Chains A and B, each alone.
Chain A
Amino acid sequence: MDQQEIQTQQKREVESRQESTIAARSFVPLTDIFEDDHALTIVMEMPGIQRDNVDVRVENNILTLEARLDYSKYQGLKPVYTEYNVGNYTRSFELSGKINQDAIRAELTDGVMTLTLPKAESAKPRRIPIS
């Protein structure tokens, strides 16, 4: 059993070349990426984000995720003590051409977004038999 203790990581703000027209701050979701024979999987933490407010798109081999926070839930709440800030999440990754872009799947559960990017047939590893 993994019994190491978990630490709180400060949220990283988005630093982009273009400035956003909206003054509010955006954050970079904590991301794990792993790969197996069939697919590349991207797992991003976006606590508080609902399915309807996430936009995932691929353009020129760039996968971009944008998630908007529904802050209406904070209406009527007066902060007395805070340790973290909230905001929209955004992050993008450059895909290699080996991804079957039409077959990308996205699933959001309990604030964790899982993107499954299946590899194109030609990119799957082949075991070479030794004759």
Chain B
Amino acid sequence: MAAYSDPFSALLALQRALESRIASGWLARSPSGMGGYPPINIFQQGDNFVAIIELPGMERNNLHIEAKENTIRIHGNKSQNYPKEVSVHRRERGFGAFDRTITLPIPVDANAIRAEYNDGILALFLPPAESAKPRSIEIS
């Protein structure tokens, strides 16, 4: 994976790679696939899938993740805690409730899913279920 190792072209290469998969058909078969908040990118890392989700400024106890077979539900409430007595000059950030379910094209091992929240990024590590792992077939 030398694709992103050259510091000059690395970021551009990554941006192009992301661009080329924008709303690819990978999740499209499920009705709950696209749209909604938060925005999700999904990557393959060896046998596993990794969902990288942008959720800046969340309180961890307002963020809930549920997994069942091949569906993953992410819901919560992004609230603002600005002081009350202020005059607002500019308001671009969004706040409110969100609830999003994605259905992956492969079953995942729900018990082995790992979630990390750092720097406003939620990363979900999604190992495929035992039944979805490839088996090598011996030739008799």
Bound complex: CA of A111 vs CA of B117, how far in Å?
A: 10
B18 in the interface, Cβ–Cβ < 8 Å?
A: yes
Chain B: which residue is nearest A83 at the CB level? B39
B129 in the interface, Cβ–Cβ < 8 Å?
A: no
Bound complex: CA of A40 vs CA of B83, how far in Å?
A: 12
Most buried by A among B24, B94, B95: B94
Bound complex: CA of A41 vs CA of B83, how far in Å?
A: 11
Bound complex: CA of A129 vs CA of B10, how far in Å?
A: 62
A86, B89: Cβ atoms under 8 Å?
no
Chain A: which residue is nearest B117 at the CB level? A110
A46, B56: Cβ atoms under 8 Å?
yes
B86 in the interface, Cβ–Cβ < 8 Å?
A: yes
Contact of A111 among B1, B17, B44, B121 (CB under 8 A): B121
A71, B4: Cβ atoms under 8 Å?
yes
Q: A4-B96, A75-B1, A111-B119 are in contact. Are A35 and B89 (CB under 8 A)?
A: yes
Contacting A at CB under 8 A, from B32-63, are 34-45, 49-50, 54-58
How big is chain B's contact interface, by range?
35 or more
Chain A: which residue is nearest B60 at the CB level? A110
Bound complex: CA of A49 vs CA of B84, how far in Å?
A: 28
B119, A48: Cβ atoms under 8 Å?
yes
B residues neighboring A (CB under 8 Å)? 1, 4-5, 8-12, 14-15, 17-24, 26-27, 34-45, 49-50, 54-58, 77-80, 82-83, 85-98, 117, 119-121
Given A83-B40, A111-B57; 14 other pairs, CB 8 A cutoff: A3-B97, A32-B92, A35-B86, A47-B54, A48-B120, A74-B14, A79-B42, A80-B43, A82-B22, A82-B41, A84-B39, A85-B22, A86-B15, A112-B120
Instruction: Pull 14 A–B residue pairs with CB atoms less than 8 Å apart, ordered by A.
Output: A6-B96, A8-B37, A32-B88, A32-B91, A46-B56, A47-B121, A49-B120, A77-B50, A79-B21, A79-B43, A81-B23, A85-B19, A110-B58, A112-B120
